[in-house]
Amino acid sequence: MKLTHLDEKKRPKMVDVGQKQESKRVAVASGVIRMSQEAYEAIKEEKGKKGAVLHTAVIAAIMGAKRTPELIPMCHPLLLTSINCDIEDIPSLPGFKLYVTCSLKGRTGVEMEALTGVSIGLLTIYDMVKAIDKAMVIENIRLEKKSGGKSGDFTRPS
């Protein structure tokens, strides 16, 4: 398979999507943050010194998705039509799983926006409770599914 972000002289380039057909495109990404019981309880009970951690993480995830082309060099600026976030409580870790769903009608996919949103949201959780637990682990940031576009649909196998 040929890498699309390199030209014939192997120089970086941004892919020309001008000739692609517009279609509805949706991507869902997720990631997990594991932490100490103390940090987990501080978040659940909203006792962190920096405020409502999970609400702030959702706002950060949305902002991260919107700013993806400023952070990832070859990403196109996109007119996202929707960004939704969901945080799953995982007491057995203890920790949280963040899901970000991005959608639009356009010529290129939104996988990077969803993945960036997850990354920024989880980093925000880390930032807000690092005074309690510097050993938190962010892991399993991944694309769960995507639809639309020439490459078709993808769903991560269970």
Catalytic residue check, 153: no
Spatial separation of the C-alpha atoms in residues 36 and 64, rounded to whole Å: 26
Residue 38: HSE in the Cβ half-sphere, 13 Å Cα cutoff: 8
What pLDDT is attached to residue 22? 85
Low-confidence winner among 12-26, 56-70, 137-151 (lowest mean pLDDT): 12-26
**Domain limits, the chain:** 23-148
Give CA–CA dist 12/26, Å, rounded: 26
Pairing type for strands 23-34 and 95-106 reads antiparallel
Under CATH, which number does the domain 23-148 receive?
Answer: 3.30.70.640
Summarised one tens digit per residue, pLDDT across range 78-94 is 999 999 999 999 999 99
Q: Has residue 75 got a pLDDT over 80?
A: yes
| Mean of pLDDT values over 15-29 | 85
The one catalytic residue in 7, 16, 86, 127 is 127
pLDDT (mean) for 123-138: 97
* pLDDT value at 5 more than 80: no
Dmax over Cα atoms in the chain, in whole Å?
56
pLDDT at residue 130 is higher than 80:
yes
Residue 154 has pLDDT above 70, yes or no: yes
Closest CA to 33 of 95, 115, 123: 95
